[in-house]
Amino acid sequence: MATLVSQSMRPRPHKPKLTTGKVVSAILRYGTLIIMALFFLLPFYLMVRNGLATEMDISSPQWSFFPGSLHFENITELFSDPDVPFVDGMINSTLVAVLQTTGQILVCMLAGYGLARIPYRWSNTIFYSVLLTLMIPFAVIFVPVYVIVSSFQWVNTLQGLVVPGIFSGFTTFLFRQFFLSFPHELEEAGRVDGLGYWGIFWRIVVPNSGGIISALSVITFIAAWNAFLWPLAVGQDSSAYTIQVVISAFMNSQNVNMHELFLSTAIAILPLVVIFFILQRFIVEGYKQSGLKG
């Protein structure tokens, strides 16, 4: 009986009143978000819509926003077209993006850790030199880098597409900023266990840096996948084309197959959209971690 009385005497949780102002504010807020989402999704919808349409439908004066029929055989036609190295382009882009991301993360993470946590002479000078590379546009060093790559006979090769993009001043800077805020206690515990800098880095630092590694991996992968100017210069043969160069070849051909152009663009964007939506949380967390201190 006492339990029933005590439960009935407990104050009920206060529910916020739903006022007209809050309702209007919520409608405006979510309405704006929906409109913006539709605005950004519109280009992707148009690519898919035109990619699954016929040439006559795309160029018709009676073009409609919602097509009467979708021609999924266009996908098979795109992948089997002997004049369009679409499959080779997707494979080359995947290899370049994966290898460049792996190499850049490894090299820049080591450089950032050395600049942040290993005291040595001229460390600040080296760091300022890294910052200086952020102020130099790639167009300025494009020709010298191409001459070097050509002298190594790396034109039309995978290493010619990958190696010049392995180092990044931006990625090194963000890794350094993150390692400046890394707890010293964890490193001291490793030294007590007899670990040196190399052991501390691989056994302690790397396992506790998942957020920044994931964020910069996504950013680097997207940048490598979307690269156009350098793959266009180095991949002069169709077997070395990346997907961006393959898409640009549509515009340079005399007979442009519009539905293949739209469809190839949509397929090329799809992996980036999936990766971004799955890992966008790591991108935000990585930027937060790299910018809190230092």
DSSP assignment string, 103-167: HHHHHHHHHHHHHHH---TTHHHHHHHHHHHHTS-HHHHHHHHHHHHHHTT-TTSHHHHHGGGS-
CATH of domain 84-291: 1.10.3720.10
148 CB-side CA count, 13 A: 9
Mean per-residue pLDDT, 217-241: 91
pTM, rounded to two decimals: 0.82
Mean per-residue pLDDT, 227-239: 90
% of the chain at pLDDT higher than 90: 40
CB 179 within 8 A of CB 250: no
Across 91-95, 136-140, 193-197, 270-274, which has the greatest mean pLDDT?
A: 91-95
Angle at 121 between CA 117 and CA 125, to 5 degrees: 85
pLDDT surpasses 90 at 175:
yes
Distance between CA atoms of residues 242 and 92, nearest Å: 5
CB 96 within 8 A of CB 158: yes
The region, left, alpha or beta by phi > 0 then psi within -120 to 50, assigned to residue 253 is beta
- pLDDT-based confidence at 256, cuts 50/70/90? confident
**pLDDT, tens only, 31-73:** 999 999 999 889 889 888 888 888 788 777 777 788 778 888 8
Mean pLDDT, the chain, integer: 85
pLDDT surpasses 50 at 294:
no
Any idea where the domains of the chain sit in the sequence? Answer: 84-291
- pLDDT-based confidence at 206, cuts 50/70/90? very high
Give which of 185, 176, 167 is closest to 209, Cα–Cα.
176
